[in-house]
Amino acid sequence: MNEKRLVNEFCKLVSIDSPSFHERKMADTLKGYLEELGFEVHEDNAGEIYKSECGNLYGYLEGTMEGEPLLFAAHMDTVDPAIGKKAVLKEDGRIESDGTTVLGADDISGIAAILEAIRSLKENNIPHRGIEVLFTIAEEPYLRGSKVFDYAKIKSKDAYVLDLSGPIGGAAHIAPSIIKLVIDIKGKASHAGFAPEKGLSAIVLASKVISKLKLGHIDEETTANIGIISGGLATNIVPESCKIQGEVRSTNHEKALEQAENIKNIFRESIKELGGNCEVDIIIGQYAYAVEENHKVIKRYEKVCKDLNIPFTLNRTFGGSDNNNLFHNGITGIVIACAMNQVHSCNEYTSVQDLMKITNIVQNLMTSKDY
């Protein structure tokens, strides 16, 4: 493994702007790399579907040893603020942004690890399984890229999705359904100075209903949150409308649906009683999954970690990843920690040490033998 090349590649990829639905430059760069490494590369039509810059990238490299092929996945997009990212390497090996943007280790650390693992295999003529890679667009906004991918192309039965924060060696085998709620409340506008009593504030209506909701942890499997409230046109107008956006997460899909319907009913009934009108849309962003702890996709990963003397942990996550869509398209995968910390913030960071660790894990998975 070439540590200097790995770090340089990570920093180079960080410098490429790739916000969701604007991954063209990143895709072109990665497509060139994969073709140089001998992959058959295909870009799908996800870009056309979403009227964005490019599609998902899929690549296949023929194996040079016995064993089923394995799929390695990571996403190309980065959350905002994502324009003008710059990786800053500290003397202690920590890598962070300049503080004005995210670093983008979510998910560039995963991409860089996959690339370096393959480069090292090729230049050292190390026998490996068949390797499939899937680099997706628009993962951050509810897994949009992987949602429309044609999974008939995939040869692998098992997958490793590099998209988890936390100590290297960690893996998530359970992930939630995420259901978004969009609530539009209508009241009645009036002048706030001359005749406020003739109006019906949609914002006041919203606040009264929100105060009735149970939010946060509903139980050990389920959470609910109201995240965005917007409404009103001016300070001197009683607001006629108010829009609320929230979500429910649960590792039990039926519980997630039940909780979303409960919130919907509370809003509709309460707003009607208060004299307003209310419309509620429920949008399923992703479906929950659970992989059995004794499945070979987990046991293989556990053995690799043990061989590398890296502590292995198996957890559930309350975040989403492309693995949700892989699972529901017949591919059994886990999400593995890949050197990203404090993600979705300008304090995001990684380290040279962790990048090397995850790259070694990936390469050992690629060269692992079935048992």
Q: Distance between CA 197 and CA 311 in Å, rounded?
A: 64
Smallest CA-to-CA distance from 147 within 302, 291, 287 is with 287
Place of tokens 């050197």: 339
- DSSP string for residues in 169-190: TEEEEEE-EEEEEEEEEE-B-E
Asked about 281 being catalytic, the answer comes back as no
Number of alpha carbons in the 13 Å side-chain half-sphere of residue 216 = 3
- DSSP string for residues in 28-80: HHHHHHHHHTT-EEEE-SHHHHHTSS---EEEEE--SSSS--EEEEEE--BPS
The answer to whether the bond into 281 is cis (omega within 30° of 0) is: no
- Amino acid symbol at 19: P
Selecting among 77, 96, 107, 240, the annotated active-site residue is 77
Neighbours of 370 (CB within 10 A): 9
Asked about 184 being catalytic, the answer comes back as no
Selecting among 106, 116, 132, 139, the annotated active-site residue is 139
N- to C-terminal Cα separation, the chain: 26
Number of alpha carbons in the 13 Å side-chain half-sphere of residue 4 = 0
Active site residues: 77, 139
